[in-house]
Amino acid sequence: MYTLLIADDERLEREALKYIIRRGTAEIGNIIEAVNGREAIEIAEKEKPDIAFLDIKMPGINGVEAARRLKELLPACKIVFLTAFDTFDYAREALRLGAEDFLVKPVEDERVLELLTLLARRLREEDQEKKKLDRTLEALQGMIRAREIELSAQLATGFLDTRKLADFITLLGIESPRMEIAVLKVDLKSYPMRVDREKHSEVLLSRCEQLLRREAEKAGIHCIPGRLDSEILMLLVGGTEAETFFSPEIVEDLERSVQEQVSLRGTLTIEEGIRDFSDLERRLARAVAADGGRTGISSLNIKETLLQNIERGEESNLNQAVGMVFRWMDSLPEKDTALDKLDEILAVLRHDLSRRFPSLELPSCARVSLRETTDEEREAVLREMLRCLRDGVRRQAEIGHPAVRFAIDVMRQRFREELSVETIAGEAGHSPSHLSRLFRQELGTSILDFLTRLRIDEARRLLLSDVSMNIGQIAEAAGYRDPNYFSRVFRRETGVSPREYRLSGKSG
């Protein structure tokens, strides 16, 4: 039900309208009154009516001026003029001010009720359109955020999937993008206290990253952050016509802010004039090489990048992934430690693939321990392992009932939304019970359990990859509106709380 404001200096007219409305329609749940235009504006600002009946001839601020101000305060409010003159001039004035209609006094019952029914229908339609737009925008923001995180995980490796970068730019709605690379090199030794823990340095670098991000967002620039040891690498994307995103003055200000707010000395350099994606790839590779070969890539980034390249499946993608792994291993101080970490990463990778594709069969070539291989054969063994995983994923994608594949695609693309079995089944063209039976026959699990695994996997990834997000934000990004419920589900699925998982991941 909606709120109606009646503004008329004649009490009998207000009483007559209230009598007609209360007797004849259930669309109006609350009626508020004003005796002149000024009072109408004051009351509307407080009560926020959905519909306003305004008498044109009122003392002080008349109905025309009141309508103008009401539209400024409440653009969605439906304005109806009350007038004693049935003339074209008043009708024209009503339309010019964005009014829905006008009523000639004395008003007729049937005319008032028909008009309110019409206005209520318009309000419902507009509300539905707004909700639909809000859901679309929310889904779009979720897609942008997910793609940004994905690209960020790749960035520190020195190469990007330019197709996904192009999709990201399209999602941003930038038709003629410009790209620059910002590199902030900080001296962790300049911090007043000793930085002897990875977690402490991570916090300091995150604060520096936030300074860069805030400055970029202030200028309307989108940024994708990455890490190169004690450097922050940031891809800047925008459509501005300025010569550079960060002027020399802004660069100096940012370096000063790093010193004053984070207590670190830092040097910010900008790679300008990037012509295209090929040029971008060359500049990124140069940035990684300039870091002295220390990629600073985390175990999480290694696993995520391997997963992405397995799913893309091209031989060139696998070769890139193998090269990245060995650059990362060379950056670690001890060879035995590097091999142990790589075996752990591959074990987690196999586990994630098995959860994502429940009926995936992993051949023996995908289960080899690289610690048991020689230096000469290790690269070839890793490449063959990735091929086995890729082929297994391809076979998995080729089997299954079309409705089950459709349901999986819906959940993977929209797990951040409030999905139900009924919604998924309806879009797949099956009844909930039939689709649930097909799903369990194909994958040995229920639709909701599969959806939960997708959401928890996303939460695990965000907990380790984005320290700027708190638990509530991660819960929402993973499709949970209630952080407490999210924490209970997370503990049930992983055995630990989200906070414990984040701390164990960072310390490990």
**C-alpha 340: how far from chain center:** 35
What is the pLDDT at residue 93? Answer: 65
Thinking of the domain 2-129, which architecture would CATH place it in?
3-Layer(aba) Sandwich (3.40)
Retrieve residue 450's tokens. Answer: 């599969």
Residue 192: is the preceding peptide bond cis (ω within 30°)? Answer: no
What is the pLDDT at residue 126? Answer: 92
Per DSSP, which regions of 356-496 are E strands?
none
The pLDDT tens digits of the residues spanning 194-209 come to 766 666 777 888 889 8
Spatial separation of the C-alpha atoms in residues 9 and 33, rounded to whole Å: 10
Averaged pLDDT for residues 217-246: 81
Q: At what angle do helices 402-414 and 432-443 cross, to 10 degrees?
A: 90
Lowest mean pLDDT among 88-92, 166-170, 177-181, 241-245: 88-92
Count of alpha carbons within 13 Å of 415, Cβ hemisphere only?
Answer: 21
Averaged pLDDT for residues 312-327: 72
Given a cut of 80, is residue 186 above it in pLDDT? yes
Q: What secondary structure letter does DSSP report for 167? A: H
Question: 45-54, 173-182, 461-470: which has the highest mean pLDDT?
Answer: 45-54
Lowest mean pLDDT among 36-50, 71-85, 86-100, 426-440: 86-100
Given a cut of 70, is residue 156 above it in pLDDT? no
What is the pLDDT at residue 347? Answer: 78
Averaged pLDDT for residues 333-347: 76
State the pLDDT confidence band at 356, using cuts at 50, 70 and 90.
Answer: low
Residue given tokens 């940035």 in the structure block = 287
Given a cut of 80, is residue 296 above it in pLDDT? no
- Comparison of pLDDT for 227 and 67, the residue scoring more: 67
Lowest mean pLDDT among 188-192, 293-297, 435-439, 485-489: 293-297
Q: Which fold has domain 400-507?
A: Arc Repressor Mutant, subunit A (1.10.10)
Helix (H) or strand (E) holding 96, with range, is helix 88-96
Nearest to 457 by CA among 205, 221, 149: 149
| Beta-carbon contacts of residue 460 (< 8 Å; ≥ 6 apart) | 494, 501
Lowest mean pLDDT among 197-206, 241-250, 295-304, 470-479: 295-304
- Comparison of pLDDT for 362 and 221, the residue scoring more: 221
Per-chain mean pLDDT for the chain: 82
What is the pLDDT at residue 390? Answer: 80
Lowest mean pLDDT among 54-58, 395-399, 405-409, 475-479: 395-399
Helix, coil or strand: residue 106? coil
Helix, strand, coil proportions of the chain in percent (round to 5)? Answer: 65, 10, 25
What is the pLDDT at residue 298? Answer: 54
| Beta-carbon contacts of residue 141 (< 8 Å; ≥ 6 apart) | none
The pLDDT tens digits of the residues spanning 90-125 come to 556 666 777 888 888 888 999 999 999 999 999 999
Q: What is the DSSP string of 45-91?
A: HHH--SEEEEESS-SSS-HHHHHHHHHHH-TTPEEEEEES---HHHH
Asked: is 156-291 a CATH 3.40.50.920 domain? The reply is no
Helix, coil or strand: residue 180? strand
The pLDDT tens digits of the residues spanning 383-394 come to 888 888 887 777
Residue 106: is the preceding peptide bond cis (ω within 30°)? Answer: yes
Q: Is 277 exposed, middle or buried (0-12, 13-18, 19+ CB in 10 A)?
A: middle
CB atoms within 10 A of CB 201: 16
Retrieve residue 100's tokens. Answer: 């829905």
The pLDDT tens digits of the residues spanning 460-474 come to 888 877 777 889 999
CB atoms within 10 A of CB 92: 10
State the pLDDT confidence band at 35, using cuts at 50, 70 and 90.
Answer: very high
Nearest to 391 by CA among 351, 422, 353: 353
pTM of structure: 0.50
Retrieve residue 166's tokens. Answer: 């192009």
Q: Which amino acid is at 34?
A: A
